[in-house]
Amino acid sequence: MRRSILLAAALTTTLALAACSSGESGDETTTEPEDTASSTGALTVWVDETRQDAVTAAATSFEEETGTSVEVVLKNFEDIRADFLAQVPTGEGPDITVGAHDWLGEMTTNGVVAPLELGDKASEFETVSLEAFTQDGQVYGLPYAIENIALIRNTQLAAEAPATWDDAVAAGQAAGTKFPILVQSDNDKGDPYTHYPFQTSFGAPVFTQNEDGSYSSELAMGGPEGQAYATWLGEQGAAGVLSQDTTYDIAVEAFKNGESPFIVGGPWMIESFEGMDLSIDPIPAAGDQPAQPFVGVQGFYLSAESENAIVANDFLVNFLSTEEAQLALYQAGNRPPALTAAADSASSSDPIVAGFRAVGAEAVPMPSIPEMASVWSFWGVTEAAIVSGADPVATWDKMIADIEGAIGS
């Protein structure tokens, strides 16, 4: 009861922000927060098949403790984003939906999500997971899982983790394998997500970051730092270490067959390497700064049009933020939990999870700002062209100009 009283008081601001974010005043009578909390009949939560059982278990506990019913609606994950954007402005849609943090820019631009009030609970999450869902000082998502790439090492072929890119290449050559190190691409489309850690090691992040971990719209991968990274790409392509023809499938198959001591990849690859002795290590820097991969965070959004915002926030903060719930979500999706206690538990029993978690703690959220859409269309093709022999500096500088033009248009 004390929790509910405190939560109702704390969330008065949330309801006001949710109303403002809709952009409409409407003709309906505004319901007072205390009436909403007492008269609520149900919550609706959208989930995909992977998260269904874990969320249903948390919903059952919520129903038993609060008397509020929760309808868990199964959706195809690929449909959730578009359906949420379409239905919330009409007053339809769920109170809560599962989603990815990189949807945030589009969600806030369209006014379909409301900020959460996490209170003291915020300190119990991995810092990077909250940074990913932060915009303008507000947290818009309840994180539950973190994913990122790292260096996956075959310990039978390389006894130690390489400190630098040059060390990795030298170790691969000493092992006598076909590939010194495997970094996937996608033919002429490139793969800037997988290559990003090497770019950051040259001090060329895609956008500048604010103190709270969110991103500004200031493009930061131009100038001498970006040119140095582009030059390195060209050198690695000329040496045959990087190739745009090394697709995901080729890279995974080669590593599985012992054709390289190292592959840059994520936890989604691990199932393919069953029976191998593996270590998960930091990605070696090619430049003079740390190599920081992108972090992707999965979480739950609160609808800006929810008539039960207080109750929905209660469900998120007090029932989907428990160690039990976050471990259930981890076991379903096999990604390190966002809640620190759950991450500690998962890591203690699985060195692979512990390895990815350690790398993720030093990583950066993938930008979710709308301007990012203007980056993807130029970024990968430019990297692939440079690896294939295009002039590094001229090609990179043209990409920067094209992105800046697209952002400004």
Render pLDDT for 52-98 as a digit per residue (tens, 0 to 9). Answer: 999 999 999 999 999 999 999 999 999 999 999 999 999 889 999 99
Residue 391: CB atoms within 10 Å:
14
> Roughly what angle, to the nearest 10 degrees, separates helices 340-349 and 351-361?
140
Is the pLDDT confidence value at 12 over 60? Answer: no
Average pLDDT, the chain: 90
Q: Specify the pLDDT at position 41.
A: 65
pLDDT the model gives residue 9: 36
Strand stretches in 56-109, DSSP E? 69-74, 96-100
Q: Strand, helix or coil at 281? A: strand
pLDDT surpasses 60 at 37:
no
- CA torsion sign for 258, 264, 269, 274 is positive
Q: Are 265 and 246 in contact (CB under 8 A)?
A: no
Give helix 192-200 / helix 372-387 axis angle, nearest 10°: 80
pLDDT at 401: 97
Q: Give the model's confidence band at 113: pLDDT under 50 very low, under 70 low, under 90 confident, else very high.
A: very high
> pLDDT confidence of 212, banded at 50, 70, 90?
confident
Which residue did the predictor score with more confidence, 32 or 324? 324
Give yes or no for residue 15 having a pLDDT over 70. no
**Which pLDDT does position 57 carry in this prediction?**
96
Q: Which of 31-35, 295-299, 362-366, 378-382 comes out lowest in average pLDDT?
A: 31-35
The pLDDT of residue 202 is above 90: yes
CB within 8 Å of 173: residues ≥ 6 apart: 180
pLDDT score, position 59: 97
Per-residue pLDDT, averaged over 166-192, amounts to 97
pLDDT tens for each residue of 309-347:
999 999 999 999 999 999 999 999 888 999 999 999 999
* Cα distances (angstroms) measured from residue 74 to each of 26, 77, 333: 30, 9, 16
Segment 276-286, tens digit of pLDDT: 999 999 999 99
The structure tokens listed for 60 are 């059952």
| Continuous H helices in 126-181 | 127-132, 165-175
| Interval 353-368 mean pLDDT | 94
Contacts of residue 258, Cβ cutoff 8 Å, sequence gap at least 6: 154, 156, 157, 177
> 89 is written with which tokens?
């402005």
What letters, b where the CB count within 10 A reaches 16 and e where it falls short, cover 237-268? Answer: beeebbbbebbbebbbebbbeebbbbbbbbbe
How far apart, in whole angstroms, are the C-alpha atoms of residue 218 and residue 196? 17
Q: What average pLDDT score do residues 258-273 get?
A: 97
Q: The pTM is what?
A: 0.85
Beta bridge pairs of residue 100? 298
186, β-bridge pairs: 188
